[in-house]
A and B are shown apart, each in its own frame.
Chain A
Amino acid sequence: MSRLLATVAAVAVVVSSFAINTNIALGHERRAVGPYTFVVGWINEPAYVNAANGLSLDVTETSSSRPVEGLAKTLQAEVIVGGGAKKLSLDLTAEEETPGHYAGSFIPTKTGDYIFHIFGTTGSTRVDERFESGPNTFDGVASTDSLQFPDRIVANSDLAARLDSLQTLVIAAIVIGAVALLASVRGLVIRRR
């Protein structure tokens, strides 16, 4: 009986789990910055490695939802990976068709999390915000492995990692070869004596 109950529980939990999806990653992160609302994410979603993409930024007045224009000159943006290991300043450009929308293009070359650092001023409000990809904000950069067909193109980072691991083997092989060579030379010398 208990086994039956456990089975029923398992099935019920599994069935219910499809509906209880509590943490769907959002496309953009929405954040209040003073009297403004910043919405940050990728230009193209999902973001794939080695594909043209960039920062997508929308700024509105929180009280009126009115888009805020002219920030390309007063705001600066940079994209950061890891603990500030690499940074890239982005040129923020405004889109005339979509007031309050700004973009900064670049090509992400690594999978994983990215941080958009936006700083400067919006009106009289000083801005210094970091928007980080994650399950509750916007997605990180994904690999294209699952989309490639029929042949898989190895990513540059994967190739670099493989070369790194091969380097150790190559060094070991060179050392062994050198030792073998020395031993052979010594054997020849002894034989001649």
Chain B
Amino acid sequence: MRRLAFMVACVLSGAVLLGGAAEAHANYVRSNPASDARLVKPPTEVRIEFSEPPDPKGSEIQVLDTNGKRHDKGDVGPSGDPNGLRVSLEPIPDGGYTVAWTTTSAVDGHTTKGSFAFVVGSGPLPTPPPVPDAAPPPSPLEIAGRALSYAGIALGLGTAFFVLLVAPAATDPRRESSLLGLAGALIVAGSLTLVVDQGATLPPRLGVMLAVRAFAGLVLAAVSITPRLALMRPVGALAGGGIMTIGPLATFRPRRMIALAAGIAAAMTATLVSHATALGSLKSMALDFVHVLSVSVWTGGVVALLWGVLLVRRDETAEDARALGATVWRFSVTAMIATALLITAGVLQAFDRLVLIDDLYETPYGIALAVKITLVLVAVAIGAVNLLRWGPRLRAGIRARAALVRDTVAETAIFIVIIVAASFLTAFAPPAQPSAAAYDRTQHVAGLRLEMLVASGGAGRNTYALRVHQGLAPVAGAEKVAFRFTMVEHDMGQQELVATERAAGEYVAEGSPTAMYGTWKIQTIVRIVGREDVSTVFTLPVSAPTGGGTTTSQVVTIGPYTAIVFTDPATPQSGAPIGMFAVLVGKDGNPVTGKQVTATFSGPSTQAPIAGIEDAATLGPGRYKFAITALDAGKWNITISVGNEGAGAYSLDVSR
């Protein structure tokens, strides 16, 4: 028992050490050129940063003009950033370009796709191609590989646990060996199938995990042979004695210990390439591991009970029936504990992975989970009948083996479907999968699933996207999707952005309605032909300036005035247009209008002075806008002067 505890401790600590704070899918975070950027000068490369390390081997970045002609050199490689990729560009003329990227997660090999657009010179942004699902559906080969692996893990671990700790004496050794051999074969076949599915894009980390799993499968297969070797011991000795080296393993207890360790190791690999590891929390990983262990003990144990005990033992006499009843009782208690752990871990995991209860029928992940939950409940009900009805009969010396065989066969059939559902479950991205957006919230309103995504959490220009789904289907062709912005802390009036549909069910608007930090309410209005408006409110926190370079807002004293100066975007990039704003406030706190405000530039290159444009109707009173075509990268000192009344200094960092 101590040895077993030691092994479990080793495996658990291994899981802790090997688990990284990674995400299951590499999502787009930012890029240079930025999405929808307007550049004065053509870039020489495109850099994209993702939410987790991408595998360059399985990744591609294509830069296409409006005719679909490629302008990248195809040399995708690491950008220097741990999560970044880059691709070189040929010299490109003015025009609109679409960057279509595909990347493979180095964590679990899942593929994500996306695209964005930028413009060199003037002209409209190209319409990006319809955005495919960020995480494409899994391939049948992947589902098959997962199902085979999970079936093998459950069978191997459950059988080993059953024969070692539940009913050591009651099991037929040859039948035990056949179950372990089958488990090993399933694990090896599943691992190989997953390797074939990934092909040349198999990330190294995933490759290591699958190799460990396949090795565990081989160990299970090897220990299943040892009783036969034991029977051959004299023959082996005659053959040269080499085979005698595994002689000790031929005794039951050590080989069962090894089988259990192999099963636990295989289960650990399942956790380490799962969504639990992707969520990056130790709690999630521990819950997932407990979930895998308990489901294996239960399901594999039922099969071991059926194949190794119920189909072999008899209950013709009262004594036989009582002996069988005692075995069934021991397993029933084990199964009850395993089921309690399984349900507890599963429910706690569901809290982390589902956003809304509606996810259970509105997302592929949720549907797979709902199917799994339903089947587990049916299996639990059958188990309860065994525990409360057939078990007591046997223990009372009454025959009930045939009924138990019938029920456990039914349970086994249900377990097969559960394992297939679990294969889908682990292959789909959970609804709570972290996205690249700074703000990502989902609400269910009037039968629609509304997911609001805001690209940046800072003040200034931003991109707002609303994904609208009804059930699993995106709601395309909405008559109008509008976002209305009101600030909670102050009465800033209400501003509206009307979104355009960029992809089926995805409505995007860009602008600067949340120019001030604080709490903003975004009322979304979705108007669908023939329906009443669907409206809800999202609360968006816009982060405060930290002075650490995340904002360009500065207070500048200009003679008798105070100016709040900031730029849009908040983090300007070289070659792209910059809107610089100065809000001029008098000593009485009121905005100052009708002044000649000028910005003079000193920096890495020459930039002519720019006169501020006052347009109270559009910008508001006292707000002056400086339309800067582009600045070179580096630090700029900008002097802002108000007529002859005074001048103040504003500094601006422009990134590459």
Contact = CB atoms under 8 A, between A and B. Distances in A.
B494 A23 contact: yes
A16 B482 CA distance: 27
A146 interface: no
A19 interface: yes
A23 B493 contact: yes
B154 to A, nearest CB: 30
A63 interface: no
A17 B496 contact: no
Nearest to B583: A16
Q: How large is the interface on A (under 10, 10 to 19, 20 to 34, 35 or more residues)?
A: 20 to 34
Given A20-B620, A20-B621, A81 B532 contact: yes
Contacts of A8: 555
A134 B547 contact: no
A120 interface: no
Interface in A8-40: 8-10, 12-25
B435 interface: no
B29 interface: no
Contact of B532 (A6, A25, A82): A82
Interface stretch (B206-214, B484-492, B632-640): B484-492
B589 interface: yes
Interface stretch (B13-21, B409-417, B521-529): B521-529
B606 interface: no
Interface in A98-123: 110, 112-113
B621 A18 contact: no
Contact of B496 (A19, A112, A134): A134
Best-buried of A10, A14, A81 by chain B (most CB within 10 Å)? A10
B495 A135 contact: yes
A24 B553 CA distance: 25
A189 interface: no
B245 interface: no
B583 A5 contact: no
Contacts of B527: 82-83
- Main secondary structure, interface of A, reads mixed
B529 A84 contact: yes
Interface in B437-491: 478-480, 482, 484, 487, 489-491
B43 interface: no
B530 interface: yes
A83 B530 contact: yes
A94 B124 CA distance: 47
A113 B620 CA distance: 25
A85 interface: yes
B38 interface: no
A134 B482 contact: yes
A113 B493 contact: no
Q: How large is the interface on B (under 10, 10 to 19, 20 to 34, 35 or more residues)?
A: 35 or more
A20 B532 contact: no
A176 B323 CA distance: 38
B492 A135 contact: no
A92 B100 CA distance: 55
A75 B583 CA distance: 46
Contact of B490 (A14, A25, A112): A14
Contacts of B487: 17
Contacts of A6: 544-547
A3 interface: yes
B334 interface: no
Interface in B577-608: 583, 585, 589-591
B406 interface: no
A13 B489 CA distance: 12
A83 B621 contact: no
A15 B516 CA distance: 12
B491 A21 contact: yes
Interface in A54-101: 81-86
A24 B478 CA distance: 27
A18 B545 contact: no
Contacts of B493: 21-25, 135
Contact of B544 (A5, A10, A135): A10
Contact of A110 (B482, B495, B496, B532): B532
Contacts of B178: none
A124 interface: no
Given A5-B555, A85-B532, A19 B591 contact: yes
Contacts of B531: 82-83, 85
Contact of A22 (B533, B546, B564, B620): B620
B591 A16 contact: yes
B391 interface: no
A86 B554 CA distance: 50
B562 A12 contact: yes
A20 B591 contact: yes
Contacts of B525: 112-113
B644 interface: no
A85 B619 CA distance: 36
A3 B623 CA distance: 24
B67 interface: no
Given A6-B547, A15-B585, A19-B621, 5 more contacts: A2-B547, A6-B546, A10-B517, A20-B492, A22-B495
Interface of A: 2-3, 5-6, 8-10, 12-25, 81-86, 110, 112-113, 134-136
11 contacts: A2-B547, A3-B547, A6-B545, A13-B553, A14-B516, A20-B623, A21-B620, A22-B493, A23-B496, A83-B528, A83-B531
